[in-house]
Amino acid sequence: MKKTIFLYGAGMAALIILLKTIEYNYLIRQLNIEIYLGIIAALFTVLGIWVGIQLIKRREKLQAATSYKPTSSSENNSPAPDISEREMDVLLLMAEGLSNQEIADKLFISIHTVKTHSSNLFSKLQVKRRTQAIQKSKEIGLIG
């Protein structure tokens, strides 16, 4: 949370510095004021889109946390290793045949994170490939 605000402020500062540089150097005397305003509008529109996406991600994370609690503490005793909630998300999408990139898009995380989760998943399931993970997790009743 604080990090996002800091990054937002830093981005703003960087933009302001950039604009000041443009203004006081050479461009502002040659360019039309309309073009200058257009550049500012475009830049801050992009910045706003980024902020909006960040807000969506945060909200969805909070919603998921409040709605999905009873996933991994009920019946998994000996055969089911303690798969975390996020690893379970990856596993389910994996079983549907999605690629890592598609899983990343659907969960709003990067493909690197998907690889991290899946790698940990394979370790916990003691398998080497995603096809084996699907097969084994169905065997031990992790997924339907």
User: Under the rule (CB under 7 A), what is the footprint of DNA?
Assistant: 1-3, 61, 82, 84-87, 99-101, 107, 109-110, 112-113, 115-119, 122, 128-131
Would you say 45 or 123 has its CB closer to DNA? 123
Q: What is the pattern of x (binds its own copies, CB under 8 A) and - over residues 18-57?
A: -x-----------------x--xxx-xxxxxxxxxx-xx-
Q: Of 22, 27, 109, 127, which lies in the binding site for its own copies, with binding defined by CB under 8 A?
A: 127
Nearest Cα residue to 122 out of 139, 134, 105: 134
Would you say 107 or 142 has its CB closer to DNA? 107
Q: By CB neighbour count within 10 A (0-12 exposed, 13-18 middle, 19+ buried), where does 124 fall?
A: middle
Cβ atoms < 10 Å from Cβ of 142? 21
Q: Of 96, 110, 112, 140, which lies in the binding site for its own copies, with binding defined by CB under 8 A?
A: 96
**Residue 25 and residue 34: Cα distance in Å, rounded?**
18
Q: How far is the CB of 13 from its own copies (least distance, A)?
A: 12
Would you say 22 or 80 has its CB closer to DNA? 80
Structure-block tokens of residue 38: 């257009």
Query: Is residue 129 near its own copies by the rule CB under 8 A?
Result: yes
* φ and ψ at residue 56, rounded to 5 degrees: -60, -45
Site residues, its own copies (CB under 8 A): 15, 19, 37, 40-42, 44-53, 55-56, 59, 63, 67, 94-99, 105-106, 127, 129-136
